[in-house]
Amino acid sequence: MKIFNTLTRRKEEFVPLEPGKVKMYVCGPTVYNFIHIGNARPMIVFDTVRRYFEYKGYEVNYVSNFTDVDDKIIKKALEEGVDSEVISSRYIEECKKDMEGMNVKPATVHPKATLEIAGMLEMIQVLIDKGHAYAAPDGTVYFRTSSFKDYGKLSHKNLEELQSGFREIKVTGEEGKEDPSDFVLWKPKKEGEPFWESVWCQGRPGWHIECSVMAKKYLGDSIDIHAGGEDLVFPHHENEIAQSEAASGKPFARYWMHNAFLNTEKNGHVQKMSKSLGNFFTVREISERYDLQVLRFFMLSAHYRSPLNFSADLMEASKNSLERILTAADRLRDAKEAAARKRTEAGVTGSGDGMNPKEEAYAQEAKVLVAKYEAAMEDDFNTADGVSVIFELVKLSNTTVSGDSSPSYIAFMEKTLHTLCDVLGIITVRKTEVLEEEIEDLIRQRQEARKMKNFSLADEIRGKLLDMGIVLEDTREGVKWKKA
């Protein structure tokens, strides 16, 4: 399995620190509003990476944090006249709802920065004791970048160039810095802000130290994979490396993975999607127009390191493509039911015979496609090629499976399609099928209303079913339903 490592700028064979296990940290969102679909890309991408490792039998310890103390959170809290915790708690819950809608699996641990302050104070003190950090007269604690000889190794920036660039920027309130390139580990509180006690001042942590401490606590000093959006390479991930390795004396992460930006077109110009530019859509807004499975499919239709342009046309194309996969899954279920019905009518019991020679040959074709899918995923998680293979499998299924196929062959094809889709987080069972009992119950209620000559209620129930995508057909044999 090869992964493009931002640290070395090349694809490398993945070798875990501990055989059979993967320790993975993914930077999570700052929770001051609903997440936008730019935030959603790393969530979906690295959830898929995790799913593939699990498919290959690895035990994955997947940690993704919530940044729940930040200037933006404090600003929102002041605007609403509430505590910062009210804002962060609200949007953590909303974020979890969106993640569930996108079929992003919960992390092994979702640490919150505010619950890890003790660890941050401890790491900052270690850095001071080792000469890598210092406290300014106002109580701000800075990391001394010149003390870490490898500073710049992830972003491939030269420290001397960085320092000359920083010297041109005069920032008020940073007079206590030894060097303009030094960064904050701890900062004094301002009026009305949340704060914690420390030996340096009443204050709160800098952003970078939060992730270093949470990765260390839940994964250890050295981890396999650290991931996030490419906008985090510098300064966030660069600073994480500096403070983590300076504190522990050990390599922090072996592989660094970064997804490219999600872009949008505005007035004919392609721009990075961001809240600051006001050109974003929230996941919640998208969910009002599309099933979030469509958004997930859209995200995986391109390689994670390729910029992805968001548009209504591409979302419609993704919706149609996803429908092809779901229709194939529907046909397999229908074929399975037809085959079972024929066996029952013929008085045949048991699981049935195996595949016939022709089906064995088709099954072999499917196994070749599985190998092709795995090759795509093991080449730096090329989900775009993986999706193409799924469509090849869909074509094979559509042309070789029918109600006359053996139960063994139908079951094999259904399991194969489901498994490959599941690795990508694509759900092959339509929501209406999950709610089958509810549909039947509503039909019974409608029939009862008609018996009681309460036709307005019967019509109301029919309308409700239509809103759920269910069309009723009144036949001589009774009421039948189908998906719209």
pLDDT in tens, 223-268: 999 999 999 999 999 999 999 999 999 999 999 999 999 998 766 6
Average pLDDT over residues 398-415: 95
From 53-67, 221-235, 262-276, 308-322, the region with the lowest mean pLDDT:
262-276
- Look at residue 383 and tell me whether its pLDDT is greater than 80: yes
In a domain, 195, yes or no: no
Query: Do 121 and 218 belong together in one domain?
Result: yes
Expressed as residue numbers, the domain containing 57 is 2-129+208-310
Query: Do 240 and 277 belong together in one domain?
Result: yes
Query: Do 306 and 276 belong together in one domain?
Result: yes
Query: Do 415 and 339 belong together in one domain?
Result: yes
Report yes or no: 381 and 24 within 8 Å, Cβ to Cβ.
no
pLDDT of the residue at 264: 85
In a domain, 347, yes or no: yes
In a domain, 19, yes or no: yes
Given 272, 290, 310, the domain boundary residue is 310
- Whichever domain contains 386, its CATH number is 1.20.120
Given 412, 429, 446, the domain boundary residue is 429
- Single pTM value for the model: 0.88
Query: Do 390 and 253 belong together in one domain?
Result: no
416 contacts: CB under 8 Å, gap ≥ 6: 366, 370, 393
pLDDT of the residue at 430: 81
pLDDT in tens, 265-292: 766 677 777 666 777 899 999 999 999 9
- Look at residue 434 and tell me whether its pLDDT is greater than 50: no
pLDDT of the residue at 169: 47
Query: Do 441 and 378 belong together in one domain?
Result: no
Query: Do 327 and 466 belong together in one domain?
Result: no
pLDDT above 90 as % of the chain: 77
Average pLDDT over residues 133-160: 94
Average pLDDT over residues 19-45: 97
| pLDDT level of residue 330 (50, 70, 90 thresholds) | very high
Residue with tokens 């229709």: 327
User: Total structural domains in the chain?
Assistant: 3
Can you give the three-state secondary structure of the chain, one letter per residue? CEEEECCCCEEEECCCCCCCEEEEEECCCECCCCCEHHHHHHHHHHHHHHHHHHHCCCEEEEEECEECCCHHHHHHHHHHCCCHHHHHHHHHHHHHHHHHHCCCCCCCECCEHHHCHHHHHHHHHHHHHCCCEEECCCCCEEECHHHCCCCCCCCCCCHHHHHHHHHCCCCCCCCCCCCCCCEEEEEECCCCCCCECCCCCCEEECHHHHHHHHHHHHHCCCEEEEEEEHHHHHHHHHHHHHHHHHHHCCCCEEEEEEECCEEEEECCEEEECCCCCCCCCEHHHHHCCCCHHHHHHHHHCCCCCCCEEECHHHHHHHHHHHHHHHHHHHHHHHHHHHHHHHHHHCCCCCCCCCCCHHHHHHHHHHHHHHHHHHHHHCECCCHHHHHHHHHHHHHHHHHHCCCCCCHHHHHHHHHHHHHHHHHCCCCCCCHHHHCHHHHHHHHHHHHHHHHCCCHHHHHHHHHHHHHCCEEEEEECCEEEEEEC
Given 310, 338, 368, the domain boundary residue is 310
Query: 168: how many CB neighbours lie within 10 A of its CB?
Result: 7
Query: Do 263 and 396 belong together in one domain?
Result: no
In a domain, 256, yes or no: yes
- Look at residue 475 and tell me whether its pLDDT is greater than 90: no
- Look at residue 439 and tell me whether its pLDDT is greater than 90: no
pLDDT in tens, 89-122: 999 999 999 999 999 999 999 999 999 999 999 9
- Whichever domain contains 237, its CATH number is 3.40.50.620
Average pLDDT over residues 46-54: 98
Mean of all residue pLDDT scores within the chain = 92
| pLDDT level of residue 170 (50, 70, 90 thresholds) | very low
Report yes or no: 437 and 445 within 8 Å, Cβ to Cβ.
no
Query: Do 444 and 366 belong together in one domain?
Result: no
pLDDT in tens, 179-216: 999 999 999 999 989 999 999 999 999 999 999 999 99
Measured at the CA of 165, the angle between CA 163 and CA 167, to 5 degrees, comes to 70
Query: Do 442 and 402 belong together in one domain?
Result: no
Sheet holding 253-259, edge to edge: 59-64, 21-26, 223-229, 253-259
In a domain, 159, yes or no: no
Query: Do 423 and 436 belong together in one domain?
Result: no
In a domain, 358, yes or no: yes
In a domain, 401, yes or no: yes
Query: Do 423 and 461 belong together in one domain?
Result: no
In a domain, 191, yes or no: no
